[in-house]
Amino acid sequence: MPFFCQQCGECCSHMGVVHRIREEIGEFRFLLVNEYTGEVTPVEIDPDKIALFEDRSIFTSFPEACPFLRRDVAGERICCTVHLSWPEICKEFSCWRILILDPAGRRSGRVMGARYLVCEDEQLYSIWRKRLDEIGVVDDGSWDRELITLAEEHGYRVYR
């Protein structure tokens, strides 16, 4: 399955140190500069997100957030207000190779790169540590298969 974003906002909540608005070039249109690469991207607030963009309360909790990150209407999720004109870095980014959700659909773990499991679920972490001790040293493909099998055996949903 191709990568999909769960809109947790984690990756964008510190991107204010990378992304800076260089200039306003029109109504809800800006030049966004990447401070590390120098890349400049013209971006435009998505027409359906103008009201969200005008609410800057997110910066109280995330002072380093990307200048285009906002909370959605319900305040539960975080969203990008320039989704239709994303800079390249945002198009290319994906935060998981394997995604594991618990039966309620909450994120339990993400595999990033080879053999790097970021676990947000203590139960998953503990059963995986135990399985790792049992299987010993394995190659990358077997490591993936063991994790997927274990997670599915315990009722998690796995996407890859």
Residues that bind ligand SF4 (CB under 6 A): 5-12, 15, 19, 66, 68-69, 80, 82, 86-87, 90, 95
- For the bound state, the minimum distance from the C-beta of residue 142 to ligand SF4, rounded and expressed in Å, comes to 26
CB hemisphere CA count around 90 (13 angstroms): 28
- Compare residues 10 and 139 and give the one whose CB is closer to ligand SF4: 10
- For the bound state, the minimum distance from the C-beta of residue 11 to ligand SF4, rounded and expressed in Å, comes to 3
Tokens of 150: 């274990």
- For the bound state, the minimum distance from the C-beta of residue 135 to ligand SF4, rounded and expressed in Å, comes to 28
Rounded Cα–Cα distance for residues 79 and 159 (Å): 22
- Compare residues 49 and 147 and give the one whose CB is closer to ligand SF4: 49
CB-neighbour burial class of residue 43 (10 A; exposed 0-12, middle 13-18, buried 19+): buried
- For the bound state, the minimum distance from the C-beta of residue 39 to ligand SF4, rounded and expressed in Å, comes to 12
Strand partners, 80: 69
- Compare residues 16 and 128 and give the one whose CB is closer to ligand SF4: 16
- Compare residues 106 and 145 and give the one whose CB is closer to ligand SF4: 106
- Compare residues 49 and 150 and give the one whose CB is closer to ligand SF4: 49
- For the bound state, the minimum distance from the C-beta of residue 131 to ligand SF4, rounded and expressed in Å, comes to 25
Residue 23 DSSP one-character state: E
Rounded Cα–Cα distance for residues 71 and 114 (Å): 32
Rounded Cα–Cα distance for residues 88 and 73 (Å): 26
